[in-house]
Amino acid sequence: MYIPQNKSFESLAYQTPEMDEWQIYPRSINEQDGITYFLCRDRSGSQKRLGISAQLDELESCQEAKSGVWLYPLTATNAAVLRSRLCWLQPQPLGLVKSFSFGDRPGLATPGHIQAVRPTQFAPIFAQQSVRENARTRRTPQVVLDDATWGVFQEGWREPWGADADHIKETIDIESFVIAGYTQFTFDPGDFVDNSADLAASDDLIHKFRNLPWRELYSTPHTLYRDYLERSFHLENHRLSYDETILLRAAVKCGRSIAHVSRLYHYLQDCIQGKPHDIEISVDETEMPTSIHEHFFFARELQRLGVRWTSLAPRFVGLFAKGVDYIGDLGDFAADINGHAAVARELGPYKISLHSGSDKFSIYPLAYQATQGLVHTKTASTSYLEALRVLARSEPAFFRQVLAFSQEHFTKDRVTYILSVDPEKVPPAGGVSDSHLPDLLDDFHARQLLHVT
């Protein structure tokens, strides 16, 4: 097969008789060290193959096309070899640049995500799934990364991109992401946050404070009093101070989660052995908002324990429900994120991260302005919901099965998500005409129900 050189990817066409059954993705064509690589699919669109102008022994299951091009299946082994040969297919830490993360649950949407992010100045994370999501979709960290790799290859994305091991809760979950080659690790200590601290009575608060894991925190009650009481901290245009009650509530609410993040962080450092990476810390899935005093205390104590991170996701005021816009007063949100951003600049700098950021169109400008561009937005499954919209139009009977399944499993699956949905307001699968099924993807309640199931 003859592969023309020095032409724009968009203008290349391959119509040789031997390759008629395959359509080549023009943006995927890449020549390196005298070897040309590309991605192609059969005319039905059901199969994709890696095409190479040479036979490579380290690749598996090759098939020679008549034109002299070798075709290989999209296996994990072949993805790893391709990443080793084309460095731009390897995910990288993104650091402090403004970034946007795409949670692609089916593993099919990366090409579309690239087309969406290409005209922007955001650095993308294309491989991003949590341990919880992988368990539900029966995918693995390696499968998620490989799916993103093939999408990056297909679209010829040459800029840095990241891979996020999302919502890691236990040390046992870290190693598989390290082996796969992830470049960001999001620690979620939410199970160790004491949500009762905000309303606890004085005696209960003191008891909880005395029983914090002081040995793991490498501190004492006396040290904490000395470090925070009867002093104030500079925070841009104002000063932050703690009285005893504010300090006790912050320590009780955050103390065990600080110790847990430290455990996760130092375990990761042993596993990753100096390889560059980003850390995100997520405390967004808690019952009560993160106050500015709590954020400052949480971040300052983590720094004292040697933890370093790139972004942090607080629990903001208002509601960040899945797949719908922000629910709450925009003025309150603006004031809240301005305070959190000031903490991040003073103690960092590090990025403020918006979790459950899907469809939060009303607050994107406010977040960017408050953080001065030090912002990360994490999304999940909006591409999946739009795929369901296509399914509702093209395969209404199958979509009805999906909706019925979702309604059946909603009570169980909603437990681990923040939602604002009344399932009784979602019509039964048989109660909507075919022509109106796509409208369910614009419905406030149906969209959230489908998102989490």
C-alpha to C-alpha distance for 165 and 186, rounded to whole angstroms = 6
Dist. CA 275–CA 278, nearest whole Å: 10
From the list 104, 146, 147, 166, the catalytic residue is: 166
Question: Among this protein's residues, is 359 annotated catalytic?
Answer: no
* Closest to 450 (Cα-Cα) out of 321, 316, 315, 320: 321
Residues in the chain: 453
Q: Is the dihedral of CA 49, 51, 56, 58 positive or negative?
A: negative
Catalytic residue, candidates 155, 280, 301, 336:
280
Distance (Å, rounded) from C-alpha 414 to C-alpha 27?
40
What whole-number distance in Å separates Cα of residue 308 and Cα of residue 354? Answer: 19
Pairing of strands 35-42, 351-354: unpaired
Amino acid letter at 387? A
- Looking only at the bridges linking them, the beta strands covering 48-52 and 35-42 are antiparallel
Cα-to-chain-centroid distance, residue 402: 25
Q: Give the CA count within 13 Å in the CB-facing half-sphere of 260.
A: 22
Interatomic CA distance for residues 63 and 51, integer angstroms: 10
User: CA 184 to CA 309: how far, in whole Å?
Assistant: 10
Residue 42 a catalytic site member: no
Active-site residues, by number, are 166, 280
